[in-house]
Amino acid sequence: MFMAPKRSGSSAASLIPSEADINQLRTISAGCRACDLWKRGTQTVFGEGNVRARIIFVGEQPGNDEDLAGKPFVGPAGRILDKALEAAGIDRSLAYVTNVVKHFKWEPRGKRRIHAKPNAAEIAACRPWLDAEIDRIHPEVLVCLGATAAQALLGKQFRVSVQRGQFVASPLAPRVMATVHPSAILRSPDDETRHDEMARFIDDLRKIAQVLKHRYAA
């Protein structure tokens, strides 16, 4: 049985036994103290989904709803992702969803908790958890959702606004793409923009559906 070490440090790497499976990793991550974000979040929000998933979606960090539920992509952004997957013809059960940072970083604004962007040190500290998830799931397709995930995984120079929806070469998976985070669609200034942004997001996901279809046929 794996115990959850409780200690501080600059990286989660030393907490991760090489033989641990995804469920054991989830259990261990609950006690992670590798950066200070554990003090702010309610709990570690580890990835979730089919352990034999063919696609991994990687976002930035859990939001308010995810922090409270302890599950990724269960709030409004998760519902946008679910709708877009359905529209693109991707079976949700083929997917595993996670984030580059596993604790909710937030700032108080009145009684509300407002999202705060994780910094480079926090992203680096948490990266071993994501690497371990990718290693165990071994996906055919990895999709970065939003700039934080894209730049963490594909390099600082990556621009989602320019390169979204394109498959890029990466050692992370046979097919790797970045697109917007569904929360960006929610922040659209009006209904028309939201509708257009949703349509573009679905178009990006349809490219993944095509890849999976060809692989099914192969």
Task: Report the interface residues with ligand SF4, using CB under 6 A.
Answer: 12, 29, 32-35, 37-38, 44, 101-103, 122, 125-126, 129
Q: Closest distance between ligand SF4 and the C-beta of residue 137, in Å?
A: 18
Cβ-based nearer residue to ligand SF4, 42 or 188: 42
Q: How many residues does the chain have?
A: 218
d(CA 100, CA 178): 14
- Nearest-angstrom CA–CA distance, 91 and 85: 7
What's the helix, strand, coil split of the chain in %, to 5? 45, 15, 40
Is the Cβ of residue 61 or residue 179 nearer to ligand SF4 in the bound state? 61
Please identify, using beta-carbon distances, which residue of 94 and 123 lies nearer to ligand SF4: 123
Q: In the complex, what is the shortest distance from the CB of residue 193 to ligand SF4, in angstroms, rounded to a whole number?
A: 32
Sort strands 106-109 and 112-115 into parallel, antiparallel or unpaired: antiparallel
Q: How far is the CB of 127 from ligand SF4 (least distance, A)?
A: 8
Q: How far is the CB of 76 from ligand SF4 (least distance, A)?
A: 22
In the complex with ligand SF4, which residue's Cβ is closer, 4 or 199?
Answer: 4
Count Cβ neighbours within 10 Å for each residue of 167-195 and write b for 16 or more, e otherwise: eeebebbebbbbbbbbbbbeeeeeeeeee
Output 94 or 134, the one with its CB closest to ligand SF4. Answer: 134
| SS3 state of residue 55 | strand
| 49 CB-side CA count, 13 A | 27
CB atoms within 10 A of CB 108: 8
Report the residue number, 80 or 130, with the smaller CB distance to ligand SF4: 130
Written as six digits, the tokens of 78 are 């998760």
